[in-house]
Amino acid sequence: MTARVLLGVAGGIAAYKACELLRLFTESGHSVRVVPTEAALHFVGEPTWAALSGQPVATGVWADAHEVPHVRLGRTAELVVVAPATADLLARAAHGLADDLLTNVLLTARCPVVMAPAMHTEMWEHPATVANVATLRARGVIVLDPAEGRLTGADTGKGRLPEPEEIFEVCTRVLRRGSAADGSLRGRHVVVTAGGTREPLDPVRFLGNRSSGKQGYAFARTAVARGARVTLISANVALGDPAGVAVVRVGTTEELRKATVEAAAGADAVVMAAAPADFRPARYAAEKIKKAASGQAPTLKLALNPDIAAELGQLKRPGQLLVVFAAETSDALPHAREKLARKNADLIVVNEVGVDRVFGQEANTVTVLGADGSTVELSERPKDDVADAVWDLVLRRLESVDGS
């Protein structure tokens, strides 16, 4: 689908990245009007925005006054995205100020609004900014968490604008869901695990599995687009960080366990999409294991890893939802039903896996079993769409708890 998109650009050094975001929108067929603040024009000039968008650039409330741009632009947009959103812009938006064209647009828009902040770490963590972000999110604005990395000058930390491709992915999900995206998980904190753990055997070898993390990352992306605050615990994944997600990186199953238990303590829902290794070497070799002179392979003794999902099931608070996964090679549904009960989970997502099947692929075919006896079959579809369908089931249960 194509849509009328309004791209707001505030006055930060990351304004140059908005050029790439604009290109992604236009090359996807969307009609984009750019509304830069006066400060933003110090970083990227009006001719650049006009050339990239193919549209006149709206720079002030007094230009083309007969068209009443401060009202018309917001009313006609199907999505408003502000990237970068500076601390100043967030403050003015939270307090309902209308002192330039962009803040006027934000007051008149009745479509989904996505803001991608970019600023120094101290500014993002300041109590004033924290309060402003909370206010905007409570109103239904999707305010992405900034990424971590290199900032202006030699500084590094949280405050970097998420990559344009990831912002675009969030916006695409919001457009697909339309008004349903506005606040469906607003105010919720969800924890998602992704990837496969690795258990060191010696300094160069490990036990692992084929999980790519794509399904877990899809859960994180789609939750952000629904307005959730997302903690993504990522195990050995070679994927870019989804925009607006707090990423915790782990390696082993024990590291995954510690991070997930800690994050889950304050979460409304936990989705265990990662593939923890069930076993680990009973003994770690401090030096590389050599071939025996006799030519015989060494004997490897294994120990059981902790069952993270079962532990989360025991720790689950009233009203908290736990979603687990069952990746099976045969007899998937009987094994999954037993697993669902044993782990005290609310939902289990079941799929049959194998070489070149599910792992690393862009699509998935799953069956979702509920502790209430429900069964939902999801035919083959993109992993983002699988995640969205499961979030629908999670949300229905969360709302049922809220209303009880």
Local structure of residue 100 (DSSP, 8 states): S
Q: Nearest to residue 275, comparing CAs of 325, 347, 348?
A: 325
Query: What are residue 108's DSSP bridge partners?
Result: none
Residue 37, both tokens: 């603040």
Number of CB atoms found within 10 A of residue 38's CB: 12
Question: How many whole angstroms separate alpha carbon 304 and alpha carbon 316?
Answer: 23
Q: Nearest to residue 306, comparing CAs of 295, 315, 318?
A: 315
Q: Are the CB atoms for 192 and 237 separated by under 8 Å?
A: no
Q: Nearest to residue 128, comparing CAs of 88, 99, 173?
A: 88
Question: How many whole angstroms separate alpha carbon 390 and alpha carbon 351?
Answer: 13
Catalytic residue, candidates 104, 132, 209, 351: 209
Number of CB atoms found within 10 A of residue 203's CB: 12
- Provide the CA 367 distance to its chain's centre, in angstroms: 23
Query: What are residue 323's DSSP bridge partners?
Result: 271, 347
Q: Nearest to residue 371, comparing CAs of 338, 399, 331, 330?
A: 338
Q: Are the CB atoms for 300 and 201 separated by under 8 Å?
A: yes
Residue 209, both tokens: 């599995």
Residue 346, both tokens: 């609310």
Q: Confirm whether 209 is a catalytic residue.
A: yes
The secondary structure element, H or E, covering residue 23 is: helix 15-27
User: Looking at the annotation, which residues are catalytic?
Assistant: 209
